[in-house]
């Protein structure tokens, strides 16, 4: 693999092709390139500030700094928010409420923070059965208890029938970042190892299997789970962990592409080491999808110095949420900002950022 610029593209200042769409498409919510474009074109310019510009899944707030430096001893806070739209509301392994708690908890946890408090805003569609809402609330409470957080404030709005899709939930969360803890996407170094905590694509394929118009029978369940205790066990065993991310929408491929870009490094993955369940594999084959791009809700990807990788793998596998953990690749000097995958039969391919939605293939 030689200098990428040979192909005529100056990759160091890659001109991301600008979308020519003047309306929002579903692809803008895919977590891939269209989503990033929206963030870069609309939101970053509108709210420009150094904390947002870090573009991590959570903002880290230094209260001492915002308080004129007079608040000695105040902890750093991690702050994040996430919106949830999923159909059906209830699916094997979870529901929209559980997802709304875990999503925000996990965004905090993978930054090394201890999640503490959540808020929740509900947009309800006229006609929603109250029993469904009760079921969602109970499920959220159970998820909060499991994750060790409290839901302390909220809001409710109702929209006309047909103007929403039963329930939309937005949660926000605050966590405390222990002193001395500095996980950062830019601290990733060539030579580091890349680990995932388990099988990829379980959540996305589960949702697809019960979605109207596609239904297929499978024993799959969503992997939605709070990652706090796994993350804390990992950091206790291996404080040198550089960076973690929960690869939700857009999947592992998007998370690693973002890392490669932000850290200016290359990534090499070995296809045979990436854990994917047979059921997910089969569904992806059937629908023409790629598990590397399918959403997860209870998995994380971690980057760690090579010397610590085996120890970290042992710690992860000893945890109930990390039993299928695996070392799947290496951070490299070569081909910066590019994720390469060594295929099962020994060929090589580039794993790019998803352009729009993954569209099922015709045949």
Nearer to another protein, 178 or 288 (CB): 288
Q: How far is the CB of 209 from another protein (least distance, A)?
A: 12
Q: How do the residues of the chain divide into helix, strand and coil, expressed in percent and rounded to 5?
A: 35, 20, 40
Q: Which region among 90-98, 145-153, 175-183, 354-362 touches another protein (by CB under 8 A)?
A: 354-362
**DSSP conformation letters of 4-61:** GGGGT--GGG--PPPP--SS--GGGGSSSHHHHHHIIIIIHHHH--HHHHT--SSEEE
Rule CB under 8 A: is residue 348 a binding residue for another protein? yes
Q: How far is the CB of 217 from another protein (least distance, A)?
A: 15
13, 20, 70, 179: residue in contact with another protein (rule CB under 8 A): 20
Round to the nearest angstrom and report the end-to-end CA distance of the chain: 32
Q: Which region among 131-139, 182-190, 237-245, 276-284 touches another protein (by CB under 8 A)?
A: 276-284
Q: Which region among 102-110, 220-228, 237-245, 337-345 touches another protein (by CB under 8 A)?
A: 337-345
11, 12, 145, 318: residue in contact with another protein (rule CB under 8 A): 11
The number of helices, as runs of H, and strands, as runs of E, in the chain is 11, 14
Please name which of 149, 325, 338 lies closest in space to residue 256, comparing C-alpha atoms.
338
Pairwise CA distance, residues 187 & 176, whole Å: 21
Rule CB under 8 A: is residue 42 a binding residue for another protein? no
Length of the chain equals 363
Q: How far is the CB of 351 from another protein (least distance, A)?
A: 7
Rule CB under 8 A: is residue 283 a binding residue for another protein? no
Please name which of 177, 55, 61 lies closest in space to residue 116, comparing C-alpha atoms.
177
Q: How far is the CB of 257 from another protein (least distance, A)?
A: 11
Rule CB under 8 A: is residue 346 a binding residue for another protein? yes
**DSSP conformation letters of 208-237:** HHHSTTT-------------HHHHHHHHHH
Phi, psi of 137 (to 5 degrees): -65, -45
Nearer to another protein, 190 or 336 (CB): 336
**DSSP conformation letters of 183-214:** --GGG--TT-EEEESS-SSHHHHHHHHHSTTT
Nearer to another protein, 67 or 272 (CB): 272
- Which tokens go with 69? 């430096």
213, 217, 236, 320: residue in contact with another protein (rule CB under 8 A): 213
Rule CB under 8 A: is residue 210 a binding residue for another protein? no
Distances (CA, A) of 250 to 24, 30, 61, 116, 208: 18, 6, 27, 27, 15
Rule CB under 8 A: is residue 275 a binding residue for another protein? no
29, 30, 33, 78: residue in contact with another protein (rule CB under 8 A): 33
- Which tokens go with 258? 């973002």
Contact between 246 and 198 (Cβ < 8 Å)? no
Q: How far is the CB of 70 from another protein (least distance, A)?
A: 49
Q: Which region among 130-138, 167-175, 227-235, 340-348 touches another protein (by CB under 8 A)?
A: 340-348
Rule CB under 8 A: is residue 38 a binding residue for another protein? no
Pairwise CA distance, residues 98 & 81, whole Å: 15
Please name which of 241, 105, 263 lies closest in space to residue 181, comparing C-alpha atoms.
241
67, 150, 182, 343: residue in contact with another protein (rule CB under 8 A): 343
Q: How far is the CB of 160 from another protein (least distance, A)?
A: 17
Nearer to another protein, 10 or 131 (CB): 10
13, 26, 69, 236: residue in contact with another protein (rule CB under 8 A): 26
Which spans of this chain sit near another protein (rule: CB under 8 A)? Answer: 1-4, 6-9, 11, 17-21, 23-27, 33-34, 213-214, 272, 278, 281-282, 285, 287-288, 335, 338, 340, 343-352, 355-356, 359-363
């Amino acid at each position: 693999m030689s200098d990428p610029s040979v192909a005529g593209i100056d990759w160091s200042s890659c001109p991301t092709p600008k979308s020519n769409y003047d309306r929002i498409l579903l692809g803008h919510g895919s977590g891939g390139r269209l989503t990033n474009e929206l963030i870069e074109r609309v939101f970053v310019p509108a709210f420009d500030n150094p904390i947002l510009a870090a573009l991590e899944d959570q903002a880290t707030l230094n209260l001492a700094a915002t308080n004129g430096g007079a608040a000695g001893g105040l902890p750093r806070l991690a702050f994040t928010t996430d919106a949830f739209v999923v159909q059906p509301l209830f699916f094997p392994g979870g529901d929209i409420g559980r997802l709304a708690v875990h999503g925000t908890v996990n965004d905090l946890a993978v930054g090394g923070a201890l999640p503490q408090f959540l808020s929740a805003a509900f947009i309800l569609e006229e006609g929603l059965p109250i029993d469904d809402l009760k079921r969602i609330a109970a499920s959220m409470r159970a998820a909060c208890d499991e994750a060790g957080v409290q839901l302390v404030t909220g809001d409710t709005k109702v929209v006309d029938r047909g103007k929403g899709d039963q329930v939309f939930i937005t949660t926000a969360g605050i966590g405390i970042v222990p002193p001395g803890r500095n996980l950062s996407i830019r601290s990733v170094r060539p030579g580091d190892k890349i680990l995932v905590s388990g099988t990829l694509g379980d959540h996305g394929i589960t949702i697809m299997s019960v979605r109207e118009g596609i239904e297929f029978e499978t024993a799959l369940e969503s992997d939605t789970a709070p990652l706090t205790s796994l993350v804390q066990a990992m950091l206790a065993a291996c404080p040198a962990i550089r960076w973690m991310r929960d690869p939700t929408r857009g999947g592992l491929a998007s998370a690693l592409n973002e890392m490669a870009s932000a850290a200016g490094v290359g990534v090499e993955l070995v296809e045979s080491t990436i854990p994917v369940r047979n059921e997910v594999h089969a569904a992806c084959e059937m629908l023409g999808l790629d598990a590397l791009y399918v959403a997860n809700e209870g998995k994380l990807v971690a980057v760690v110095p090579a010397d610590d990788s085996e120890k970290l793998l042992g710690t992860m596998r000893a945890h109930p949420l990390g039993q299928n953990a695996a070392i799947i690749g290496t951070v490299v000097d070569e081909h910066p900002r590019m994720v390469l995958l060594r295929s099962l039969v020994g060929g090589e391919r580039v794993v790019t950022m998803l352009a729009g939605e993954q569209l099922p293939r015709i045949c």
